[in-house]
Amino acid sequence: LMLGHDSELVRRFRAAGVIIVGKTNTPEFGLVPVTEPELFGPTNNPWNLARTPGGSSGGSAAAVAARMVPLAHGSDGGGSIRMPASCCAVFGLKPTRGRNPIGPDFGEAWRGLVCDHVLTRSVRDSAAMLDATCGPDVGALYYAVPPARSFLSEANADPGELRIAFTSEPFLGGTVDKDCMKGLEATAKLCQDLGHEVIEAAPKIDGKAFAKAFLTVVCVETRATIEKGEVLLNRKASFKDFELGTWILGLLGRQCRAPEFSRSLDLIQRTGRQIGEFFEKYDVLLTPTLAMPPLVTGALQPKGSQLVAMKLLGRLNAGGLINTLSGIDVLAEHVFEFMPYTPPFNVTGQPAMSVPLHWNDEGLPVGMQFVGRYGDEATLLRLAAQLEKAQPWSERVPPICGKLN
């Protein structure tokens, strides 16, 4: 179903002269960090067609990486701009909460976790588009302090000497691939060589509790979206209307009691305050964007007995049994092992960006995440432009593109 009007962000895109050429591929409801919807099939990664471009803005990242378009829209509720940017070697900035409008159809998305912006090949283009789109729309729930100067001018400014913390510690658990570790170490050294103070340090996060609370919010929001669809369809939805994973998350959301939802919001918001305290000591935090290089397509799909159990419980609408019988907790843990670094900064609302600074020996991109203080895209853009100049990435193109003149 398509709306009959533009969102405020799209209206601002058009006002800036952007020519919209089409809709790129996304996973259903933007729920997962890969782009393999049943309706349209998987999007391939331009750097290796057997790999995922990430998600949920995977189609956008692939289109930019393949030089189909210079920029593409993305939304980020748990890393969905930054993760595909990492997988496809493009620049992806998640702005501060409230920096770009999300109305008029949303007051907030995922309880304020979601921010919209673009994926680009250059820092300059991202900054220029942020100038064109930033600012609250009428009735906005969140308001980011207006920038002191244009973001494009910030991308041309010297960042000065920054105090940069770096860590490989996966906030939500799991282990970190050696390629991501290698990229982190090289990036930390690059920052040090550029004159920044680089210190190994990390905010303290109870990863297991945070992941459960975050997933609870996502499940409740998924159920709410399903029920909005019922209103549009003028009938009750069934498991046949949605992908299995979407339906299962919706069942989990339906069984969530209001006090549990409230406790989950409270926990992730407390975590946000703890992270905010960490940033009183540092200008920027550096991590890998993901804990692994781009996954093989299908790697996160449920298989075997887990898939059979999920199908059975989906047909039975047996939401209360899902936690114990279907392996949904195991599946969620598997997903967070791939993406342990990005969700906390959707909770805090801080700006964060994935910068394409590393490739592994197989030629797969491994992005690096930089997180700034709340409202401080300026520092990130200055730093990103400095990194882009020191270690340019735009001339490195995926094999699928052939030789560009």
pLDDT for position 325: 44
15 vs 208, higher pLDDT: 15
Give the CATH number for residue 228: 3.90.1300.10
Which residues fall within 8 angstroms of residue 329, CB to CB, at 6 or more apart? 323
Cα(264)–Cα(344) distance, integer angstroms? 13
In this model, does residue 201 exceed pLDDT 70?
yes
pLDDT for position 105: 86
Placement of tokens 């289109």 in the chain = 63
Instruction: Please check whether residue 342 lies inside any domain of the structure.
Output: yes
pLDDT for position 319: 62
pLDDT for position 403: 59
Interval 85-130: pLDDT, tens: 999 999 999 999 999 999 998 878 888 999 999 999 999 999 999 9
In this model, does residue 232 exceed pLDDT 70?
yes
315 vs 221, higher pLDDT: 221
Helix axes 377-390, 178-193, angle to 10 degrees: 90
Give the pairing type, strands 368-372 and 71-76. Answer: unpaired
Cα(126)–Cα(358) distance, integer angstroms? 20
pLDDT tier, 327 (very low <50, low <70, confident <90, very high otherwise)? very low
Contact present, 323 and 329 (Cβ < 8 Å): yes
pLDDT for position 320: 64
Average pLDDT over residues 382-401: 97
Average pLDDT over residues 352-371: 99
Interval 156-168: pLDDT, tens: 999 999 999 999 9
Element (H, E) at 15: helix 8-15
Interval 234-272: pLDDT, tens: 999 988 999 999 998 999 899 899 999 999 999 999 999
Count of CB atoms situated within 10 Å of the CB of 30:
22
The structural domain count of the chain equals 1
User: Percent of the chain beyond pLDDT 70?
Assistant: 94
In this model, does residue 188 exceed pLDDT 50?
yes
Instruction: Please check whether residue 1 lies inside any domain of the structure.
Output: no
Instruction: Please check whether residue 2 lies inside any domain of the structure.
Output: no
Which residues fall within 8 angstroms of residue 232, CB to CB, at 6 or more apart? 1
Query: Which tokens go with 339?
Result: 């993406």
Identity at 177, one-letter amino acid code: D
pLDDT for position 405: 47
In this model, does residue 317 exceed pLDDT 90?
no
Backbone phi and psi for residue 181, each to the nearest 5 degrees, phi listed first:
-65, -45
pLDDT for position 324: 46
Instruction: Please check whether residue 190 lies inside any domain of the structure.
Output: yes
Provide the mean pLDDT of the chain: 93
Instruction: Please check whether residue 3 lies inside any domain of the structure.
Output: no
Domain interval for residue 392: 8-401
In this model, does residue 331 exceed pLDDT 70?
no
pLDDT tier, 177 (very low <50, low <70, confident <90, very high otherwise)? very high
**Three-state secondary structure call for residue 101:** coil
pLDDT tier, 183 (very low <50, low <70, confident <90, very high otherwise)? very high
pLDDT for position 373: 98
Beta strands in 192-233, from DSSP E residues, in sequence order: 197-200
Q: Could you tell me which of 188, 190, 205, 221 has the C-alpha nearest to residue 114?
A: 221
Instruction: Please check whether residue 156 lies inside any domain of the structure.
Output: yes
Q: For residue 189, count CB atoms less than 10 angstroms from its CB and return exposed for 0-12, middle for 13-18, buried for 19 or more.
A: exposed
Cα(79)–Cα(82) distance, integer angstroms? 5
